Amino acid sequence: MATHPAYRRLELARALILVGMLRGRGMDTALLGTSSENTAMLALAHVLGFHAVSNTPWYSKKIA
């Protein structure tokens, strides 16, 4: 999920995550993934009660 810059800070991501968890009643686990550089999403995940269970490295290389 991504939020257009003009609509950030409106708690849209929070609302979508909470609605998804409500619709998934009876599920055992909710998974969420984000970049370690996305501090806003990391903070939101923490506030919503998510905790890190693994760290997966991502590699990239610019091809000129």
pLDDT band at 49 (very low <50, low <70, confident <90, very high): very high
Cβ atoms < 10 Å from Cβ of 41: 20
**Domain chopping of the chain, boundaries:** 5-47
Which pTM value belongs to this model? 0.71
Q: What is the pLDDT of residues 10-27, one digit of tens each?
A: 888 888 888 888 777 788
DSSP string, the chain: ----GGGTTS-HHHHHHHHHHHHTTT-S-------TT-HHHHHHHHHTT---------------
